[in-house]
Amino acid sequence: MKLATGILYTEKQIKQRVEEIAQQVSVDYAGKTLVLCAILKGSIPFLADLMRRISLDVRLVLIEMKSQVDGEHASILFTSSLDLSGKHVLIVEDIVDTGITLDYLLKRLEVERAPASIRVAALLDKPEARKLDVPVHYRGFTVPDKFVVGYGLDWQERYRNLPYITWVEPE
Ligand code: 5GP
């Protein structure tokens, strides 16, 4: 696979959209403490930009997940400690593809951590690939059914550092 020559979303477009989401989150959770629950590693740039624009009392939990390549299973590899019981939780995800990872995480958190509420902020949404119906409350951009990279998203651990979003394609 090689990097495509085109760009899906520029650095400027991403910055503007992330600011809009941060403003909306700040309005929606006004007066509340918000726990951002970021899914490693792909959400790191989104998280870093989003959290600095949210004008609330914010806490942070990091979760590392394994999305199986067979597209049927997900599992939690690591969670930084913080009590979510009775808290308002916003999951920060890089991309929702089949929805399997998110569906698994939502169910686990709802059952085991008893938060007051859970919502999802996903930088990217790829609806054409969806297998499970999962909620996306704050969506950055909708992308076509390509393997997208950049701004945190990788292909075999490469391209996470690109400041824009593009895709990889066969050589
Ligand atoms: P899902 O469980 O929704 O199929 O996939 C979730 C995870 O798969 C994402 O958090 C991301 O790590 C990875 N993923 C899915 N689609 C893409 C894509 O187009 N590009 C990259 N870089 N990762 C993806």
Structure tokens at 20: 């809009």
Q: How far is CA 148 from CA 54, 84, 91, 94, 118, in A?
A: 26, 32, 20, 11, 26
pTM of the model: 0.96
Cis amide linkage into residue 12, ω under 30° from 0: no
Domain count across the chain:
1
Q: Is residue 163 part of a domain?
A: no
Q: Is residue 169 part of a domain?
A: no
Q: Is residue 120 part of a domain?
A: yes
Residue nearest to atom 15 of ligand 1 (CA): 97
Q: Is residue 150 part of a domain?
A: no
Q: Find the catalytic residue in 97, 133, 145, 154.
A: 97
Q: What is the pLDDT of residue 92?
A: 98
Q: Is residue 45 part of a domain?
A: yes
Q: What is the pLDDT of residue 69?
A: 60
Structure tokens at 149: 């990279």
Q: What is the pLDDT of residue 73?
A: 78
Report the nearest atom of ligand 1 relative to the CA of 101.
2
Q: Is residue 31 part of a domain?
A: yes
Q: How far is CA 141 from CA 20, 63, 104, 136, in A?
A: 12, 23, 22, 11
Q: From the CB of 101, is ligand 1 less than 6 Å away?
A: yes
Domain that holds residue 67: 11-144
The CA 30 to ligand 1 mean position distance, Å, reads 31
Q: Is residue 162 part of a domain?
A: no
pLDDT, block means (10 residues), the chain with 171 residues = 96 98 98 97 98 97 83 79 92 96 93 95 96 97 97 97 98 92
The CA 31 to ligand 1 mean position distance, Å, reads 33
The CA 163 to ligand 1 mean position distance, Å, reads 18
Report the nearest atom of ligand 1 relative to the CA of 147.
19
Q: What is the pLDDT of residue 75?
A: 85
Q: Is residue 53 part of a domain?
A: yes
Q: What is the pLDDT of residue 96?
A: 97
Q: What is the pLDDT of residue 120?
A: 98
> Which H or E run contains 58?
strand 57-67
What CATH number is associated with residue 93? 3.40.50.2020
